[in-house]
Amino acid sequence: GAGVSQTPSNKVTEKGKYVELRCDPISGHTALYWYRQSLGQGPEFLIYFQGTGAADDSGLPNDRFFAVRPEGSVSTLKIQRTERGDSAVYLCASSLDGQGSDTQYFGPGTRLTVL
Amino acid sequence: GENVEQHPSTLSVQEGDSAVIKCTYSDSASNYFPWYKQELGKRPQLIIDIRSNVGEKKDQRIAVTLNKTAKHFSLHITETQPEDSAVYFCAAANYGGATNKLIFGTGTLLAVQP
């Protein structure tokens, strides 16, 4: 079946602009995660959704970052007033229900470049 | 805060040799330990995982061992092949707790020389 998909694959923006990154999880997966990966580093947790609600947003770096999942499926990560330090690959992952040890499946990521 | 340390950062082996990557975690509540393989420009893909109630798990050429007392787990790849070349990440999570977030190590670049 279809895996996790993310759009756009690449996004180039100017400092101070607003961007939205989209994640389509695997159908039927109730748990959805956003991570950020800088060059040469491991993915860093941003936010975790169980259904429509954010169960853990402790990884969001500041209030410029916000994410929604209004219908419990697609999620959008929103970044306001982008800064050059926001440049990274933003990864989305989903898992069946976030219980037990079910696997987190990753999408291909969106490479964000802030000029 | 939670932390996962991973060593070595780079590892070069000859084809057919074994490779071992080691990780240490700080949160004693961690109970789930996956390993991901990431090829250049690609998404991380799970290769093996282990729960805290198991000491060792094996899948063909890949095995993972866990020492809960020492808060240490390792990935073992035997009979390495050139296609094993990639960056490998360990991670730890407290599944069933307040959050299921994965805390990742910094990665190991494995190069298998033909």
Tens of pLDDT, residue by residue, chain A (115 residues): 589 999 999 999 999 999 999 999 999 999 999 999 999 899 999 999 999 999 899 999 999 999 999 999 999 999 999 999 999 999 999 999 866 667 999 999 999 999 9
Q: Given this model, what pLDDT does residue B15 score?
A: 97
Q: Given this model, what pLDDT does residue A98 score?
A: 65
Higher pLDDT, B55 or A2: B55
Cβ–Cβ gap A91/B44 under 8 Å: yes
Cβ–Cβ gap B100/A42 under 8 Å: no
CA nearest to B12, candidates B74, B82, B71, B94: B82
Q: Which of A41, A43, A55 sits opposite B44 (nearest CB)?
A: A43
Q: Is the dihedral of CA A109, A59, A54, B90 positive or negative?
A: positive
Q: Given this model, what pLDDT does residue A89 score?
A: 98
Q: Report the Cα A19 to chain-centroid distance in Å.
A: 12
Torsion, Cα of B75, B88, B85, B64 (10° steps): 10
Q: What does the alpha-carbon distance between residue A74 and residue A53 come to, in Å, rounded to a whole number?
A: 12
Q: What does the alpha-carbon distance between residue B31 and residue B52 come to, in Å, rounded to a whole number?
A: 5
**Average pLDDT of chain B to the nearest whole number:** 95
Q: Given this model, what pLDDT does residue A97 score?
A: 80
Residues 6+ apart with CB under 8 A from A21: A6, A7, A8, A11, A76, A77, A78, A79, A90, A110, A112
Residues 6+ apart with CB under 8 A from B59: B47, B48
Identify whether the C-beta of residue A54 lies closer than 8 Å to the C-beta of residue A72: no
Q: Which residue of A has its CA nearest to B43?
A: A108
Helix (H) or strand (E) holding A76: strand A75-79
Q: Which of A45, A103, A108 sits opposite B43 (nearest CB)?
A: A108
Tokens 């169980």, located at residue? A50
**A107: chain B residues, CB-CB within 8 Å:** 43
Q: Report the Cα A53 to chain-centroid distance in Å.
A: 14
Q: Given this model, what pLDDT does residue B49 score?
A: 95
Q: Given this model, what pLDDT does residue B31 score?
A: 92
Q: Given this model, what pLDDT does residue A1 score?
A: 59
Relative to beta strand B86-92, strand A105-106 is unpaired
Q: Given this model, what pLDDT does residue B95 score?
A: 85
Residues 6+ apart with CB under 8 A from A63: none
CA nearest to A4, candidates A84, A92, A82: A92
Amino acid in the structure at residue A38 = S
Q: Given this model, what pLDDT does residue B97 score?
A: 76
Whether B1 shows a pLDDT value over 80: the answer reads no
Q: Given this model, what pLDDT does residue A100 score?
A: 62
Q: Given this model, what pLDDT does residue A101 score?
A: 60
